[in-house]
Amino acid sequence: MSSSGFQLYTELWHDRFIGGLKRNQRIRRAPLLAVGLAGLWVIAVLSLQRLMIFPRYLLQPDARPGQGVRGLVRLTVDSPEGAVEGWLLPGDGVGAGHPGPAVIFAHGNAELIEHWPEMLEPYRRLGISVLLPEYRGYGRSAGSPSQAAIAEDMTAFYDQLARRPEVDPARIIFHGRSLGGGAVCDLARRRKPAAVVLMSSFSSMKRMARRYLVPGFMVRDPFDNLDVVSRLAAPLLIVHGRHDGVVPYAHAEQLHAAAPGSALVGYDADHNDCPPDWARFFVDVTCFLREAKILPPSLGPGGV
């Protein structure tokens, strides 16, 4: 073999040998890279999911909260993380000698209690007092939100409400919107409601997580509404937008199917504009509460 041929041979052998080693190294590194990426994804899901479920950092509390809200009574729950705020709005015509029904309204995950007094005024005109409990870490309330924290505080707020002389404890309604549906369903595990209204709510947070390819076992706050309504011994009204792009209408259908005797009302609406007509919604609520015997049959929508 000539010297040039030998040199070519050694170069080819070197390229194949060294190239093979490099390829083997890349092959060995691939599983390690996959494991590393999977680990980062798990860490991100576990650490960031509560920022997505409870985006309280996006909300700016009112500078003068409660100003102009008639009859506002401020309540507080002393949680292990500090004080949690609640607002009680007495229903028209109720008092110590004339107790009436009350509704606990749990708001959505990107809302605060000060967003709701005007919208819920029709409840008050029906003679129904309104309790607006805040979530930990929202608004002026201390701590960090979680399913366990919300359940603990909602139970404490319920117990305060049930002891008040202007409230009939046998006629306390649970009303939750979106995430608040999870809050009131969780409360229904611990305290018996006279009736439940779920607005634009989900069947469970695990089912919601599937849309984002997150397996159920990684969901830290599962909010299993489906399990609660399947065992619920109280009238249930489900209202939902048929075009809801956040919580698909199928979730409402699942809740309705799991709760025999429940009522499902669909509106031509998305998530944040449901119901599209609040006057129509309160007509539906009034009829529902009459049938549940929480309101007298003669009382019309708006309390007239």
Predicted confidence (pLDDT) at residue 222 exceeds the cutoff of 60 = yes
Taking the C-alpha atoms of residue 199 and residue 32, their distance in angstroms, rounded to an integer, is: 46
Q: Identify the sign of the CA torsion 131, 177, 197, 241.
A: positive
Q: Residue 85's pLDDT is what? A: 98
Question: Could you state, in order of their start, the residue ranges of all structural domains in the chain?
Answer: 1-53, 63-303
Taking the C-alpha atoms of residue 166 and residue 23, their distance in angstroms, rounded to an integer, is: 78
**Bridge partners (DSSP) listed for residue 73:** 88
10-24 average pLDDT score: 57
Which pLDDT tens digit goes with each residue over 42-64?
A: 454 555 778 889 999 999 999 99
List C-alpha distances in Å: 253 to 244, 249, 261.
13, 7, 13
Which pLDDT tens digit goes with each residue over 145-187?
A: 999 999 999 999 999 999 999 999 999 999 999 999 999 999 9
Q: Residue 50's pLDDT is what? A: 82
Residue 241: both structure tokens together = 């937008």
Q: Residue 303's pLDDT is what? A: 45
Of 124, 83, 133, 75, residue with least CA distance to 105: 133
Contact 205, 182 (CB under 8 A): yes
- Check if CATH label 3.40.50.1820 holds for domain 63-303: yes
**What single-letter amino acid sits at 113?**
I
Taking the C-alpha atoms of residue 232 and residue 189, their distance in angstroms, rounded to an integer, is: 9
Chain position carrying tokens 């010297």: 3
